Amino acid sequence: MTVTPETATSPAADPASVTATARRLLTELPGPRSRELEAERRRHVTNAFGITMPVFIEHAQGSLLVDVDGNHLIDFASGIAVTSVGAANPKVAKRAAAQLERFTHTCFMVTEYASFVDVCRWLNEHTPGDFEKRTALFTTGSEAVENAIKVARAATRRPNILVFDEAYHGRTQLTMAMTAKENPYRLNFGPLPGSVFRGPTAPAHTSPDGPGEALGRIEALLAQNGPETFAAMVIEPIQGEGGFIVQAPGFLTGLREIATRHGIVLVIDEIQTGLGRTGKLFASEHEGIAGDITLTAKALGAGLPLSAATGRAELMNAVHPGGLGGTYAGNPVACEAALAVFELLEEGALLDNAGRIETAVRGRLEPLMALDGVADVRGRGAMMAIEFRDSSGPRGDLAAAAAKAANAHGVLTLTCGTNGNVIRLLPPLVIEADVLDEGLAVLEASIRSVLS
Ligand code: PLZ
């Protein structure tokens, strides 16, 4: 069934009343077996990992997660924007399995393999920017960010980095300093690396006058600290963890212009937005900009750890031989998974699906903006969010309660935002229309139940 606002079912304010079709709820969530395993976890695993939903997954298919109690959950998280092609895509599994038979690892710095080169070629050809490029592969998103900074510093021989309000770039020492939010990401982990400056942004939903003021303040920050001391500015084209923030038109092109004028390397962090998530291969394309370096991870390996920094050849080659690398950088099994992802993206349907997901989400959630407590519905493609705020300010409590209600009824949703007041939707791009509609009906009812 194609979901349109007209076919969406009438408002329910009880998530339990939505008929479970794609979902299958055999027990309460978490079920007894998950609770047993959770007790084991508490005995053996650090408490330092926060868990959205203490349910243990046994297997998964497309947009459904099957837990150890036999419950089927609708996945609106994709493992934080990773399993865009589905949780167990057969093409990914086939290529990765064949590679596991051939060899698991050589270390690309020791002896080489062609799939590493093939992934780099594809990224060079498909990332924004009509210039000669080179790519370096790594393992995690944070590592891609770290290495982009190494490249920018080596190429410019400048120390400083400009990042932005609400930014998220990772959990390693440098990337947590680049990340905006103190708790939980940086708390007690200092001293943080220096040379990181933070500038303002111009969120579309709070900047009716456009990006002029923010861009002016960025110019002032650069002038005060010496633009010639800045190696890189790093920005997510749609900010992810910070609250699914789409910038006002002209902000990103303004940054592009400032970076070019001062010889600062513009690093676009497409780790969450890239590879089809927003309905284009890269979110930069919505803005008509190209980074000097574009970073990818997450969806790149469909769950196998793989990340990449793709940039201007003269930048990427400015580092001395041996200056970049890593034991697992560009692991061959992960490279095969990425080549499968590229084939799936080239078939075209995934990008169209992202657009359809946006239409369905808007159709279902935009009417909720009439309710007191819902402030905004925003995003692009399959990266959509609903923000909770009222005259008292951000309402993280409402977002948490609604997400918890949806989770308890078998729809896995995540929150985000500095104040935790945003529910974000990151379904796999392969989600079927009826599964999406059922998940959205549960989410809508969950929201209505906490607002009533
Ligand atoms: N840049 C834009 O979204 C990872 C973080 C989850 P890693 N986002 C999920 C958590 O709480 O740890 C992310 C991102 C952007 C960089 C990263 C970092 O990628 O693969 O988690 O290191």
Say which CATH number the domain at 237 has. 3.40.640.10
Q: How many CB atoms lie within 10 A of CB 130?
A: 6
Q: Is residue 73 lining ligand 1, measured as CB closer than 6 Å? A: no
Q: Is residue 379 lining ligand 1, measured as CB closer than 6 Å? A: no
- 430 CA distance to ligand 1 middle (Å): 22
- 24 CA distance to ligand 1 middle (Å): 30
Among 346, 362, 389, give the residue marking a domain's end.
Answer: 346
Q: Is residue 68 lining ligand 1, measured as CB closer than 6 Å? A: no
Claim to verify: residue 283 and residue 400 sit in the same structural domain: no
Flag whether 10 is in a domain. Answer: no
Flag whether 1 is in a domain. Answer: no
Claim to verify: residue 310 and residue 352 sit in the same structural domain: no
Claim to verify: residue 245 and residue 380 sit in the same structural domain: no
- 168 CA distance to ligand 1 middle (Å): 7
Instruction: In whole angstroms, give the CA distance from residue 108 to residue 262.
Output: 35
Q: Is residue 134 lining ligand 1, measured as CB closer than 6 Å? A: no
Q: What is the DSSP letter of 348?
A: S
Among 346, 370, 397, give the residue marking a domain's end.
Answer: 346
- 171 CA distance to ligand 1 middle (Å): 8
Transcribe 272-299 into DSSP letters: TTTTTTTSSSSTHHHHT---SEEEE-GG
Q: What is the DSSP letter of 7?
A: T
pLDDT given for residue 146 in this prediction:
98
**Is the pLDDT assigned to residue 314 strictly greater than 50?**
yes
Which run of H or of E encompasses 444? helix 433-451
CB 62 within 8 A of CB 83: no
Q: Whose CA is nearest to atom 19 of ligand 1?
A: 141
CATH of the domain at 42: 3.90.1150.10
For ligand 1, mutation pick of 51, 78, 138, 142 (most atoms within 8 Å of CB): 142
Q: Is residue 146 lining ligand 1, measured as CB closer than 6 Å? A: no
Claim to verify: residue 319 and residue 380 sit in the same structural domain: no
What backbone phi and psi angles, to 5 degrees, belong to 199? -110, 170
Q: What is the number of structural domains in the chain?
A: 2
Flag whether 91 is in a domain. Answer: no
Flag whether 44 is in a domain. Answer: yes
**Is the pLDDT assigned to residue 37 strictly greater than 70?**
yes
| pLDDT tens-digit readout, 336-368 | 999 999 999 999 899 999 999 999 999 999 999
Claim to verify: residue 323 and residue 182 sit in the same structural domain: yes
Instruction: In whole angstroms, give the CA distance from residue 138 to residue 117.
Output: 13
Length of the chain: 452
Q: Whose CA is nearest to atom 6 of ligand 1?
A: 80
* Contacts (Cβ under 8 Å, ≥6 apart) of 294: 123, 127, 128, 129, 267, 268, 270, 274, 282, 284, 309, 310, 311
User: Domain containing 329: what range?
Assistant: 103-346
Q: Is residue 237 lining ligand 1, measured as CB closer than 6 Å? A: no
Claim to verify: residue 367 and residue 423 sit in the same structural domain: yes
Flag whether 3 is in a domain. Answer: no
Flag whether 9 is in a domain. Answer: no
- Residues 204-230 as b/e (b if ≥16 CB within 10 A, e otherwise) read beebeeebeebbeebbebbeeeebeeb
pLDDT given for residue 156 in this prediction:
98
Claim to verify: residue 335 and residue 359 sit in the same structural domain: no
Claim to verify: residue 41 and residue 109 sit in the same structural domain: no
Which run of H or of E encompasses 375? strand 373-380
pLDDT given for residue 10 in this prediction:
56
Instruction: In whole angstroms, give the CA distance from residue 57 to residue 38.
Output: 12
- 1-5, 258-262, 279-283: range with lowest mean pLDDT: 1-5
Claim to verify: residue 202 and residue 257 sit in the same structural domain: yes
For a pLDDT cut of 90, what percent of the chain falls above it? 97
Q: Is residue 444 lining ligand 1, measured as CB closer than 6 Å? A: no
Flag whether 227 is in a domain. Answer: yes
Among 290, 325, 346, give the residue marking a domain's end.
Answer: 346
**Is the pLDDT assigned to residue 8 strictly greater than 70?**
no
| pLDDT tens-digit readout, 182-199 | 999 999 999 999 999 999
For ligand 1, mutation pick of 298, 300, 331 (most atoms within 8 Å of CB): 298
pLDDT band at 169 (very low <50, low <70, confident <90, very high): very high
Q: Is residue 168 lining ligand 1, measured as CB closer than 6 Å? A: yes
**Is the pLDDT assigned to residue 4 strictly greater than 70?**
no
**Is the pLDDT assigned to residue 106 strictly greater than 60?**
yes
Claim to verify: residue 327 and residue 441 sit in the same structural domain: no
Q: Is-cis flag, bond preceding 237, omega within 30?
A: no
Q: What is the DSSP letter of 298?
A: G
Say what the pTM is. Answer: 0.96
